[in-house]
Each structure stands twice: as structure tokens, then as C-alpha cells.
Structure 1
Amino acid sequence: MAKSTTDLFCDFCGKDRAHVEKLIAGANVNICNECVKLCDQILGDQKEKPREESKLQDLDPHKIREHLDQHVIGQDHAKMVISVAVAEHYKRVYKPPKNLELEKSNVLLVGPTGTGKTLLAKTIARYLDVPFTIADATTLTEAGYVGDDVESVIAKLLDKSDYDVTRAQQGIIFLDEVDKIARKSENVSITRDVSGEGVQQALLKLIEGTIVRVPPQGGRKHPNAEMIEVDTTNILFICSGTFIGIEDILKNKSDHTSIGFQSRLKKLTIASELYEKLDQNDLTKFGLIPEFIGRLSTIGILNELTQDELVRIISEPKHSIEKQYQWSFKIDGIELKLPIDAKKAIAIKAEKLGTFARGLRQIIEKVLLPWQYNAKQLVAEGVTELVIRPETIDKGTDPVIIREDSTKTNRRKVEN
């Protein structure tokens, strides 16, 4: 029996006739114009998914590398390695051969802190438009111990995917500081290693591919609770670490030890040269178990950044630090200038601190903070430009302040 006109309401959202623009009435059900619009959006989103997947089906390592070049300075070897690894991974996912089983190839990035390991992974995920999450290996423990069990990283990825299992299963997990879960020695321990070798063992199946049961909406596991099943087979794992001390292992190799394609290790003193000689045996000696290393067959090496590269990082990337701060000051009405000598001072300071690219923003933030705080007051006083000098970076002296009444001659002197 149809509803009377006095009690008509939308059967989907519950709004009555007086509170919606239009109400479409059926035999025993009604729907308002707002719910129709929502349904149309849902159907439209579903139609767009095949187009997103088509990008993953035909990835070109050169195009991936070109995108990385817009955001990451230097690290040519690591860019090439990760571009090929990502293209091959999704090729295996979307174009699997009929009579050939392809092994999953995850990535290990090795290099000092502040060289761009995390940025590479983030940039790749943005380019691919896939869910991405970062997990710290040092916080992971075996199931049953205090801390996050290894399956928690899948729960984080699922959360980033808005609990869309299909999207989560083609996402990327960045597992940082895997060098910190190395066992303490090469000898197999008979005691329980909760946060070292034990975690490596727990990660094996996860990285290789298994079904993980995750509680919905970030809840806790419970025997009677409904769980979401996630297949990790097609999730790309990018692991990274600084591996402090591994250079000693490399230096101790004899001149007659063969590495890779029958090459010989010479007396090397530069860290970048040492890292280029890194192989899986060295990682085993460092404390990673062979089975875990075997799941990370693609190794990318990142070198310490030079001063010139640090200077370029300040201004050249698409979303560089310089552009971000210039935008912030421009909103308040001030033009911020960072001459090349000031950028060199910032780069030298970051290098001395050992923070490299990671420390650039902190150095600039510390210098500009009081000027950001007083920006509106400066504008009211007629200030139009701030020019950062090396002394501003090194000694904390004030930048050059240019006001509306400054002559063009004085401006040219400052800029030169």
C-alpha cells in the first residue's frame, strides 16, 4: 500500500517531504534528490577505478624516473633501481604469465640518514596513486609480546585505504629502520629475540605474501570478532635502513674476495664506494637472516649528499623548501629571498650536523621563525622584502630588511 501524501519521507536518509527539494515516489519506496545525487557519485567513482588500474598496468621506468627527478635531487642509482622494481612489481600483478610463476621482488634501500629514502618511497606512491603507509621496524615485536605485532602494518595500510581491501592489496608499505631488527651476532640464538631475529621471522610470510586477518576500523583482535582478510601477495614492501657499522664489514673484505660479477674489492675509504660493493652476504654478517634478505632481492644504494646537492634541494624540487617559505611570506605581503651564498651556508650547517637533507628545513625554520611571527607587523611598518644572508644562518644576525621607501639602487646592492 502506497504511503499517504501527509507522511511521505525518503526511505534512504529519512528526511520528510518538507526538508528536501524533490521526492521521487515509487510503489512502496521513496527517494529524495539528495540521495539520487549521492548514488550517482558512488556509481561514478566505481567507473573511475578501471582507469586508475590501467596506469598501474603499463608503467614505464623512464617516466617514473622523470617524476622522481622533479622531487628528489641526486641518488641516480636508487632512482633507477626503484623505478624498475616498481614497474616490474605491477607488471607481475596485472599481467601475470599463464605458465610461469614469478617471485615477488621487494626493495631494500640502504644509505645514511637524510639522503632521501623515505622521500623516494612517498613520491613513488603519489605518482602511482596507491595507498601508502610508513611503519617503524623498531616498534614491532612478535605476536604475544608488548608492542605492535607485525600485522599491525597491514591494519595501517587498510586504514589509509579507507578500508577498501582491493586498494589496500595494491598499496605500498615503507618499513623503516630494518637495520635495527638485526640479530646481535651471526650465531643462531637459542633464546627468544623479541624485537630482532624474531621480528624478521614474523615478517617473512607477510612480505612474501599471506592472508592477514585485520580487525575492522582499528579495533583489537578478538576470537569472536568479525575480521577483514587482506592478501599481502601484491603489496609492495620497501624497506630501508642506515646500517651503521656495515662499512667495517666491507672494509674487512680481502682484496681477493670476489663480489658480484667477479669484481675485486680494492682499498676503499669513501662511504659511497663501500656501499656500492654491498651484497647479501654482508647483510647476513650485519645480522639480517638469509630468509629475510631473500625477500628483499632488489637493493638500492643512496649516497651521502654533497653540498651542491643540498643547495639544489633547497630550491629545485617541485615543492622545494624555498618555494614553501616564499609562499608563506608572500601571503603576508613580504617577498623572501634566499641568495646562493645563504643557501650554501645552510647546506654547510646541515652537513656539519650530519642531518643532510632532513636537517635543511629545521635550520631554515629556526632562522625564519621570529620573522614569521612578526610578519604582519613588519608589513604594517612598510617592509616589502627580507633577504637572508650567510650571517643570518651562521650567527643569527638579522636579514637585510627592505622597505617601500628603499631606492632601486639599494635593492640592487643587497641582491648583488
Structure 2
Amino acid sequence: MEQSISVVEEVETKPEDLSGSLTPKKIVLELDKYIVGQNKAKKAVAIALRNRWRRQQLSDDLRDEVAPKNILMIGPTGVGKTEIARRLAKLSNSPFIKVEASKYTEVGYVGRDVESMVRDLVELSKGMVQEEQKLEVAQQARAAAKEKLLDLLLPPPPGFSINKENSGLDSLGQQHYQKTREKFEAYLKEGRFDDREVEIEIQDKQASHIDVMGTGMDDMNANIKDMLSNIMPKKTKRRKMKAPEAFKILVQEEAEKLLDQEKVVQCALERAQNNGIIFIDEVDKICGRQSTQGPDVSREGVQRDLLPIVEGASVNTRYGIIKTDHILFISAGAFHSAKPSDLIPEFQGRFPIRVELDSLTEQDFERILTEPDNALVKQYAELMKTEGLELSFSESAIKEIASMSAIVNERTENIGARRLQTIMEKLLEDISYEAPEMENQSIVLTAEDVRKKLSDIIEDEDLSRYIL
């Protein structure tokens, strides 16, 4: 409880805007911490992000004329296409969504229409702005929540008021209650009420299961649900919980009351418009088939629907109209059975920057296992440490794991770096199972251990297809 209550006086700050200090070289260095190789792709996205900052420095007239240069990433699965875009968004604190092109259908057909990706981006942007603005009012929210929690722990007597002139209590009663309340406040900070249960009334936020308009009408559906929720009384329920948990809920409730929702929506729309990143995966799946029967509705039609959004259009959302002119679109695809030139010419023209990502080699796998900040070897070692087990890998074991991953990718489906996870899971299966009984032990895996566990599966091609 001490941690949750005693920080009332601390000042929390929202994430720092680093866009001005992030030069292309610095962006690439940051991406290098998590992604091995693929320097051409890193360079392209770094320039695209820096151009956003450059655009913000221009005069208003010229700023509207400068559009982002959308990027088409070409490369097999598991080489880092999505991860590059996701890390870029996190680095720049930009709203980011990933969508699959194959999930959308042409207007007039059953399925999600392409404008829904823009609406999803706005929803995500609103959530980001809301969390940041909650940090700005955190100090006030915590102070108000602390007072409410004190009221629950020590209910005020009838007639009590903080203002002595308006209080129905005599001065002695007022002083006695105030002293007791101050004592309780000190106990809260010391954590003495951590195990005390209180009963609070909370709003029931369970989502409605009523689908008003059906598939493809997401935005209208949301608007009607909003209207119904405003008309109908809000459901509340009483719950008993420990004081620290109650404090967290009260802080959230108080923070929401302090938020200026109009400002939140305005900032969310502006951020989505100017800083949003939409990653369209599997774009090769919407390449039209070579056919004499005319255009393929489910493929070419989706491309044509995407054109105005990628080029710049106004999309109506539940929070207002958003322009897509300055949203950065990054599309990606493996292009195994199709070529980028199979996309309709107009769509190709909306993605002027093309980057080909390299297939991963055995040497790349070695680096992926050890170099990134979130390297798999480090992850598994930390997971086992929670059980009191020290797990480490010899250099020869790393090389053997990388070699086996490359072999399986070559013989079966090439799934890139994702193969490392399947290999590691199979390798550590027994250790993970026995770990709770291996406290205070140390294990160093060698190449021999790796071969002993995996060589039979690797050699049997049919078996490796199913297990790895």
C-alpha cells in the first residue's frame, strides 16, 4: 500500500517527444537494438520518420503540400517487416495499427470496409492521448482518491464538513474526527491498511453484446451504442476489495472525471492525422489473379478502395472527420506467388519507396539469439530465473540452434526468425517442465545437449514438418 498511496506527492510526466532529436542515424541505431540486419528497410523508415519532423518545421502553406512517401516492404515472413514498423511507432510515440489486407472486401460486399482501419487508428490515438492526459491530472486524482478512501475507512459522522462554519458538529467533535482522520492518513502511507477490506461502488463497464447494425457498420454501430448508453442509466455494482486495489480504481475514476474529453478527442484526431502509421500486411494477397474473366472483386476491388485513403481522403469517424493525407502507410508482403508489378498501377504509384528485405542466414540467427535487447536467450534465462534456476547457453549451443533453424527453414517452410522460437520451445521443453523442482541449480546447455534433444527430429523431414 505504501507504494500506491505514498506517491501522491510525486509528479508524473507524460512521454517525452523525441521526434526532433531523432536523426535518421539515431533511429537506425535504436532499431538495431531489436532487429538484426535489414539496413535498407531501417534506413527507409528512418528517413520517412525524419521527414515528418521536417514537415512540421515548414510554413503552413507548404506543410499541407508535403505528403509522406509511403513504403512497400518486400520480403519473406519472419524477417522483421512488422517489427521494424512497430518499433518505429513506439520510438516516435505515434499511433500505430497493423491490419491484414486480405481481411477487407470491396464496398458492397460482406466484410470490413477499408475505412475501418482509419477509424481503428483514431480509437487507438484517443486511448494514447487519454493515458497521457491522465498522467497530467494524476496528482489531483490521487489526492481525491485518497480522500475518498479515507471516507471509506473512517466514514464522516452526520453533519461533518471540512469547512468548520458549515459543519453540524460542535468544535470538539470536529477536532476529534479531524485528528483521527489525520492518524488514518498516516497509517495509509505506512501501509497499515493493506489488508483492510473496503466496499466501493464501481461502474459496470461490461461491453454490450447487442450488435445493432451487423458486420461492416462498425462506426454506426458504435454511435448507436453511445446514444443508448447515454439514454439508459449507468449500471453500478458494489464490490469488496483490499484497500490498495480500491485506491487504484478510485484513482482511475477521479482521473476520468478530471479529463477534458473535448480536448482529448481534438488531440487524438490531430495526432492520428499527422503522426499515425498504418501497416498493411499481406498486400500480396490482394494482387489480382491473371484471368480473362475480368477484374477480381475480392482483390483488385480492395486495391481500388484503398487508393483514395492512401492518397488522401476525409474519413468520417465517431469523433469527427479525419484526413488521411499525412498518415504514413507501410505495406508489406512476401510476394511468393505474385510480384509487386501485379498490383494495379495506381496502387503501385501510392508506394514510391520500395525496400526488399533479405532472407535470414545462419549467421543472422546467431546474432538474433544473442544481440538484441530482447534476445530469445535472455528471455528464456530470465523466465527460468523466476523459478530460481540459472540457465545459460554455451557459444557452441547458440551456433547449433542457429544451424538447425536454418536447416529446417530450408527443408520445410521458411518462416524466418519465428523458427527460432519453435526450436527453443522444443529444446527447453523438459527443463521448463522440471524447473520448479530445480531451484538453486545451474544449467549450461552445450551443442551436444542441443543435438541430443533435436537431431532425431531434424533428420526426419516428415517429423520436423509437424513438430518444428
TM-score, normalised to structure 1, is 0.66
Alpha-carbon distance between aligned partners in 2 of 1:318 and 1:76, rounded to the nearest angstrom: 18
Tell me by how many angstroms 1:56 deviates: 2.8
Q: Structure 1 stretches (4+) deviating beyond 4 angstroms? A: none
State the Cα RMSD in Å.
2.8
Kindly indicate whether residue 282 of structure 2 is the aligned counterpart of residue 177 of structure 1: yes
Question: CA 1:140/1:94 → structure 2, altered by over 3 Å: closer, same or farther?
Answer: farther
Kindly indicate whether residue 433 of structure 2 is the aligned counterpart of residue 373 of structure 1: yes
Identity %: 36
Aligned match of 1:167 in 265, 271, 280? Answer: 271
Q: Deviations over 1:123-165 (max 9, x none)?
A: 1111111111110111111123222211121232223223522
Q: Report the residue type matching 2:312 in the other structure.
A: G
Tell me by how many angstroms 1:373 deviates: 2.7
What is the match of residue 441 of structure 2? Answer: 384
Alpha-carbon distance between aligned partners in 2 of 1:369 and 1:133, rounded to the nearest angstrom: 34
Tell me by how many angstroms 1:79 deviates: 1.5
Question: CA 1:115/1:397 → structure 2, altered by over 3 Å: closer, same or farther?
Answer: closer
Contact persistence 2:368–2:375 (CA under 8 A): yes
Aligned match of 1:355 in 415, 423, 426? Answer: 415
Q: Report the residue type matching 1:303 in the other structure.
A: D
Alpha-carbon distance between aligned partners in 2 of 1:189 and 1:61, rounded to the nearest angstrom: 47
Question: CA 1:99/1:70 → structure 2, altered by over 3 Å: closer, same or farther?
Answer: closer
Aligned match of 2:380 in 325, 329, 334? Answer: 325
Give the gaps of 5 or more residues in structure 1. 1-33, 216-226, 247-281, 399-416
Alpha-carbon distance between aligned partners in 2 of 1:94 and 1:149, rounded to the nearest angstrom: 35
Kindly indicate whether residue 326 of structure 2 is the aligned counterpart of residue 200 of structure 1: no
Which of the two has greater helix per residue? 2
Alpha-carbon distance between aligned partners in 2 of 1:307 and 1:105, rounded to the nearest angstrom: 33
Any idea what SS the aligned residue of 1:237 has?
strand
Number of aligned residue pairs: give it: 302
Question: CA 1:394/1:200 → structure 2, altered by over 3 Å: closer, same or farther?
Answer: farther
Any idea what SS the aligned residue of 2:386 has?
helix
Alpha-carbon distance between aligned partners in 2 of 1:152 and 1:331, rounded to the nearest angstrom: 42
The structure showing larger relative contact order (alpha-carbon pairs under 8 Å, at least 6 residues apart) is 2
Give the gaps of 5 or more residues in structure 2. 128-267, 456-468
What is the match of residue 364 of structure 1? Answer: 424
Contact persistence 2:388–2:438 (CA under 8 A): no
Alpha-carbon distance between aligned partners in 2 of 1:195 and 1:94, rounded to the nearest angstrom: 41
Tell me by how many angstroms 1:395 deviates: 4.1
Alpha-carbon distance between aligned partners in 2 of 1:203 and 1:390, rounded to the nearest angstrom: 50
Q: Report the residue type matching 2:327 in the other structure.
A: I
Q: Deviations over 1:215-265 (max 9, x none)?
A: 4xxxxxxxxxxx53222222111111111145xxxxxxxxxxxxxxxxxxx
Contact persistence 1:283–1:293 (CA under 8 A): yes
Q: Report the residue type matching 1:173 in the other structure.
A: I
Q: Deviations over 1:314-370 (max 9, x none)?
A: 110011111111111112111111112222222223222222212212221222233
Residues 263-342 of structure 1: pairs in structure 2 closer than 5 A: 283-284=340-341, 287-342=342-397
Tell me by how many angstroms 1:98 deviates: 3.6
What is the match of residue 317 of structure 2? Answer: 214
What is the match of residue 33 of structure 2? Answer: 70
Any idea what SS the aligned residue of 1:114 has?
coil
Contact persistence 1:347–1:356 (CA under 8 A): no
Contact persistence 1:58–1:91 (CA under 8 A): no
What is the match of residue 327 of structure 2? Answer: 235
What is the match of residue 208 of structure 2? Answer: none
Contact persistence 2:76–2:415 (CA under 8 A): no
Question: CA 1:76/1:368 → structure 2, altered by over 3 Å: closer, same or farther?
Answer: same
Contact persistence 1:89–1:105 (CA under 8 A): no
